């Protein structure tokens, strides 16, 4: 995790007095979605709601990411938080009014996500 993202998460910690743990295993952190949104805005960042296609793509990435809790993320929406000067961003899976289990995403993944949304197909290599 880049140092500025780590600082951002530290910034969020004091303003999140109530962190609700969802799920039986207690591995999923959920907070009021307005908390990270306001924090990102206060840092002059961008909070972008993702399309259903982007959500489904990132749900698959989440499910296969060994750093994330097993299974699919909570929620039926997602938002991308980005800060100027930092590569990539942080995805929050939105469940009602809760933002759950943030996942850091690199620029390369965001490029793939946008290609899926715009239906751009890129073929690498010459094939055989």
Q: Annotate 68-120 with DSSP letters as a single string.
A: SPSSPPS-SEEEEEE-TT-SSEEEEEEETTEEEEEEEE-HHHHHHHHHHHTT-
Residue 128 placed within a domain: no
Quick one: CA dihedral 112, 116, 121, 126, positive or negative? Answer: positive
Two structure tokens written together for 44: 């002059």
- The range of the structural domain enclosing residue 86 comes to 3-116
- Report the number of distinct structural domains present in the chain: 1
- 25-60 pLDDT, tens digit per residue, is 555 689 999 999 999 999 999 999 999 999 999 999
Residue 104 placed within a domain: yes
12: Cβ–Cβ under 8 A, 6 or more apart, which residues? 35, 36, 39
Residue 121 placed within a domain: no
Residue 16 placed within a domain: yes
Residue 51, pLDDT score: 93
Chain position carrying tokens 């850091």: 104
Residue 124 placed within a domain: no
Helix and strand element counts for the chain (H, E): 4, 6
Residue 108 placed within a domain: yes
Residue 47 placed within a domain: yes
107: Cβ–Cβ under 8 A, 6 or more apart, which residues? 87, 88
Residue 17, pLDDT score: 38
DSSP state, 76? S
Read off the pLDDT of each residue in 71-84 and give the average, rounded to a whole number: 94
Find how far residue 58's CA is from the centre of its chain.
Answer: 8
Residue 29 placed within a domain: yes
Residue 121, pLDDT score: 73
For the chain, the residue count is 128
């Amino acid at each position: 995790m880049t140092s500025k993202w780590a600082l951002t998460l530290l910034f969020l910690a004091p303003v999140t007095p109530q962190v609700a743990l969802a799920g039986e295993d207690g591995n999923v952190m959920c907070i009021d979605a307005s908390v990270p949104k306001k924090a990102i805005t206060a840092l002059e960042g961008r909070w972008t709601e993702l399309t259903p296609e982007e959500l489904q793509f990132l749900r698959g990435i989440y499910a296969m990411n060994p750093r994330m809790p097993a299974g699919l993320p909570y929620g039926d929406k997602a938002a991308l938080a980005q800060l100027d000067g930092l590569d990539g961003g942080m995805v929050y899976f939105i469940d009602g009014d809760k933002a759950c289990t943030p996942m850091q995403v690199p620029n390369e993944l965001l490029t793939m996500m946008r290609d899926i949304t715009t239906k751009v197909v890129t073929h690498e290599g010459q094939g055989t």
